[in-house]
Amino acid sequence: MALVSFVLTALAYPWHLPLTIVSFYHPRLTAFVHLSTLGTIGATILGASLQLVPVVTGGRLRAHGAARWAWWCYVAGTALLIVGLWFGWHETLAVGGVLLYLGVHIYVAVIGMTMWHSRRDVTLAHIVVAQVALAVSANLGALLALTKGIGWLGDATIPTLATHAALMLGGWALVTLAGFAPRLALMFVGGSAILDRRLAWLDLAFLAGGSWALAAAGVARSHPTALVGAALLALGLICLAAQLGRVYRKARRTSDPHVPFAIVALIAGLGSLAAIGVAAARSAPASDPMWVVAGWLAIAGCLQTVIQGFLHKIVPFLAWLHHHAPRATIGHPPPRPDSLVPSAHRALELILWTSGVFIGAAGIWLGIPAALDVAATCLGFALMILTLNLLRVAWPIGVRLVRGG
């Protein structure tokens, strides 16, 4: 689902990125935002966490059947929500919102049951805190979807939207990634490196505190609270970066395919928080481009970049594990997972993607349509390089799945 959404996003960029300087509330832009957030960021996090929560918490995935139902509700709900928003079909939007509500709550229940029987530690705490934000924010999303056609929320619409976005992006997606990233880094580098638990608790406190402060700032329309939220989130990102840096230093490992993506994501994340800080310090109205820059850097610059790096690590690893390693014979060792995608392709993708993100941010801030056209072209090509490479690598596993292997 994430790769299909990446392809659709790549094709849609030229028509949708310019809408960021028309209005953040343009219905087609909101539809496009959900193609990225639900289609790629959400789908990857939900799918990966069904695999990873049992691994990192030492438990066993419960209620497989319910997890499959969650996926069907999620994929149908995402499609209907996007179509409903894009065409302004309020009934379709409402059905999509309800299906997403169901899918997300079934998923939260599955993860909840899995965690109940798991090891209680700081990683589990990240996942629990993230599930709470996801559930609350999905309720707000469903409320927005159900009331869009009747205008029931009135003046409360934009505060509700701001709270929904802050909790989804910060409280759920970022906190989940912060929980998994150090554990995955430890697994990938191997050796004797261990987690610095104090740093891990600190990043959780800062990231969750910052996200809920931003959410409260949305409801209370309080710019000082938004400033505090952005500062706390920045501290959380710094703790997370310190933790990851420590893992790599201890393992004496200099790089991995996902590391350059993680560095770009960190810079964009801090850029997004700086934009929130500037907009809040100036008490800028909701229509100010600085808020849109903040959203753009958070979604495309930070979260989507992390997801790209993650996919570069995990898809070749799964292909290696299920396809290449079992076929290895003496004298014919399997290729290394990291060599399955040529490093030149990865580098070109990262250069195009990073240029697109920052040219896009400048274009939104200064209101330059030509910059957004350049950014859309760079981003589109970057996503095409990513998806073509990953589809090629994942092809043998896909063929086996289709044949029932």
State the nearest-atom distance from the C-beta of 246 to ligand HEM, in Å: 28
Residues that bind ligand HEM (CB under 6 A): 24-25, 29-30, 33-34, 37-38, 41-42, 81, 97, 100-101, 104, 138, 141-142, 144-145, 148, 157, 161, 164-165, 168-169, 173, 295
| Count of residues making up the chain | 405
The distance of closest approach from Cβ of residue 98 to ligand HEM in the complex, given in angstroms and rounded to an integer, is 8
Residue written as tokens 């969750």?
208
Positive or negative, the CA dihedral 310, 374, 343, 399 is positive
Rounded to 10 degrees, the C-alpha dihedral 266/159/19/375 comes to: 0
Q: What residues does 329 pair with on adjacent strands?
A: 332
Query: 215 or 319, CB closer to ligand HEM?
Result: 215
Q: Considering the complex, what minimum distance in angstroms separates the CB of residue 182 from ligand HEM? A: 21
Task: Report H helices in 88-196.
Answer: 90-116, 122-147, 157-166, 175-189
Residue with tokens 């290696």: 320
Residue closest to 321 by CA, chosen among 51, 43, 47, 1: 51
**Joined tokens for residue 287:** 């229509």
| Alpha-carbon span 6 to 308, nearest angstrom | 10
Residue (27 or 334) nearer to ligand HEM, CB: 27
Nearest to ligand HEM of 33, 53 (CB atom) = 33
| Distance of closest approach, residue 287 Cβ to ligand HEM, in angstroms | 11
Q: Which of 124, 168 has the CB closer to ligand HEM? A: 168
Rounded to 5 degrees, φ, ψ at 196 are: -85, 100
Which position's Cβ is nearest ligand HEM? 141
Give the integer Cα–Cα distance in Å for 105 and 107.
5
CB-wise, 100 or 207, nearer to ligand HEM? 100
**Measured from the CB atom, is 17 or 138 closer to ligand HEM?**
138
Distances (CA, A) of 357 to 12, 165, 279, 374, 377: 15, 20, 19, 10, 11
Q: Tally Cβ neighbours within 10 Å of residue 254.
A: 8
Nearest to 268 by CA among 369, 384, 359, 376: 359
Minimum CB distance to ligand HEM smaller for 3 or for 33: 33
What is the closest distance, in whole angstroms, from the C-beta atom of residue 343 to ligand HEM in the complex? Answer: 30
Residue with tokens 């990102």: 237
In the bound complex, what is the minimum distance in angstroms from residue 173's beta carbon to ligand HEM? 5
> Between residues 166 and 266, which has the closer beta carbon with respect to ligand HEM?
166
Shortest distance, position 295 Cβ to ligand HEM, whole Å: 6
Shortest CB 152 distance to ligand HEM, Å:
11
Separation CA 148–CA 105 (nearest Å): 21
Q: How far is the CB of 384 from ligand HEM (least distance, A)?
A: 23
Nearest to 204 by CA among 150, 243, 262, 168: 243
Mapped onto helix, strand or coil, the DSSP state of residue 171 is helix
Identity of the residue, 33 or 375, whose beta carbon is nearer to ligand HEM in the bound complex: 33
Tokens of 354: 């990073």
8 A C-beta contact, residue 214 and residue 279: no
